[in-house]
Chains A and B, each alone.
Chain A
Amino acid sequence: MVSETLKAAFSLLVFPGLLFLSSFGMFSEWLDRKLYARMQYRIGPPWFQPFADFVKLMGKEVIIPEAADEALFKILPSFAGAAVCTSILMIPVWGPSSVYSFQGDLIAVIYLLTIPTVTFFLGGWSSTSPYAAIGSLRVLTQLFAYEVPLLMAVLGPAILSGTWSITGISAFFASHPALLPVNLIGLAVSLVALQGKLERVPFDIPHGETEIVGGAFTEYSGRLLAFFLLATDMEMVVGAALISAVFLGGAMGLPGFLGFLLFVLKAVVIIFILSAMRALMARIRIEQMVSFCWKILAPLSLLQVLINLIVKGLI
């Protein structure tokens, strides 16, 4: 019983939980900023920059608006971080198996990943500043836009492999690597939807810097902001891990450390693609995004589900 609790605490706090996620999150933020800068003929930040930003923000004063609900304001960043840390426990990171896996953990992970978005909304709403109110409304509108294509896109591989657990899906693709190209459309759709979930250009409408200052984060400062930004970094890692496990076959059956290396490699490739998307396009308006997601992404993901049903029937 004690060893079970210790094992759980280790997984949640050290690997693959809080400590691993935050350091890998900072590494991926550095990688993203460095790639973004090099694509623009600039030099880019040194490797310790995200850590330095985190330390600097921790040392700043926390200013809470008078009209805001103080308790809610303060506790929201921890909720975001906690939800993200819990979701990594169900994605295979070290080798082909995850810490906890059960049928339906695919849906659980996607659900857990919407919790940070809801905390952004609540954080912006409880700030009672006009910029934050508009930002939080945009967060929710954007949630309605990308959530459905994302869910339907990951549904495709689940149908093909006949199981609802992420470990099962990646094990299926590890044993049938020839079936990987069937999900290409789904991969593209989920990458675009992930860009929307992480609120990066072209979908960084909720915290559009030149329009509404900071969006939902306008009134946040100091260590609360540090944890919110850390939660977004961790979300990027979890999103990349989810896509690599569901669409790219995860660890491909390799055990232990080799599987971990493969996971890191795939995560880096996904981050490269996300950075290229960020450098390539301008920010679009919220109603353009909603119409784009519902008119183009959702039908494409439906098409993917259809293809998978046909292939499943054929094999």
Chain B
Amino acid sequence: MVRPAKMLKELMGSLCTDPITVRYPYQRLKMPPKYRGRISCKADLCVGCRLCMRDCPSGAIQIIQLPGEKYLFSYHSLLEGKKVNVQIEKPGKKKFKAVIDLGKCLFCAQCVETCPRKALSETEDYELAALSKDSLFRTYEGDGQTEK
């Protein structure tokens, strides 16, 4: 049976109801928990194994060792006949910082699963648009986060 204008009732009904599109940014939608947003890092827990760098599909994360404190002393070298300055690293825990390039990151969270120390975690932050490429590099040191 052919009925022309079949959708008429629905069309008139939709004129009286609210639209389902939202006026972003005046109205924002709430993301469900465990939404794949930005990856965040507690750099204190990082031991520098760099397994996350191995597993990242796009090479977005970089683990950089921070220069540690050093002992300075000098001695008079008999061989060279002058004063020589020596720097030796203090023994102790090495410190690292993580730099994530949001331009390459897939937000797949494979690094979160691979990290043996659970230093990386997912957030639900999705408003990551940027005006310059430099602000897409997010540096994570210590327990907080700085933008470079």
- A–B proximity contact (CB within 8 A): yes
Q: Which A residues lie at the B interface, using CB under 8 A?
A: 35, 37-44, 276, 279-281
Seed contacts A39-B15, A42-B19; 9 additional CB < 8 Å A-B pairs: A35-B15, A38-B19, A39-B11, A40-B14, A41-B14, A43-B23, A276-B8, A279-B7, A280-B11
Q: Which B residues lie at the A interface, using CB under 8 A?
A: 4-5, 7-8, 11-12, 14-15, 17, 19-21, 23
Q: Is A280 a contact partner of B21 (Cβ separation < 8 A)?
A: no
Q: Is A38 a contact partner of B15 (Cβ separation < 8 A)?
A: yes
Enumerate chain B residues within 8 angstroms of A43, measured Cβ to Cβ: 19, 21, 23
Q: Provide the bound-state CA to CA distance between A252 and B60, in Å.
A: 73
> How would you classify the secondary structure of chain B's contact residues: helix, strand, loop or mixed?
loop
Q: Which of A40, A41, A43 has the most CB of B within 10 A?
A: A41
Closest to A279 in B: B11
Q: Is A39 a contact partner of B14 (Cβ separation < 8 A)?
A: yes
Enumerate chain A residues within 8 angstroms of B19, measured Cβ to Cβ: 37-38, 41-44
Do A280 and B14 form a contact, CB below 8 Å, given A42-B21, A43-B19?
A: no
Q: Provide the bound-state CA to CA distance between A281 and B20, in Å.
A: 22
A and B contact pairs by CB, cutoff 8 A, 23 listed: A35-B15, A37-B19, A38-B14, A38-B15, A38-B19, A39-B11, A39-B12, A39-B14, A39-B15, A41-B17, A42-B19, A42-B20, A42-B21, A43-B23, A44-B19, A276-B8, A276-B11, A279-B7, A279-B11, A280-B5, A280-B7, A280-B11, A281-B5
Enumerate chain A residues within 8 angstroms of B14, measured Cβ to Cβ: 38-41
Q: Provide the bound-state CA to CA distance between A42 and B7, in Å.
A: 16
Enumerate chain B residues within 8 angstroms of A40, measured Cβ to Cβ: 14
Q: Provide the bound-state CA to CA distance between A40 and B10, in Å.
A: 9
Enumerate chain A residues within 8 angstroms of B8, measured Cβ to Cβ: 276, 280
Q: Provide the bound-state CA to CA distance between A232 and B66, in Å.
A: 67
Enumerate chain A residues within 8 angstroms of B15, measured Cβ to Cβ: 35, 38-39
Q: Is B11 a contact partner of A41 (Cβ separation < 8 A)?
A: no
Q: Provide the bound-state CA to CA distance between A281 and B12, in Å.
A: 14
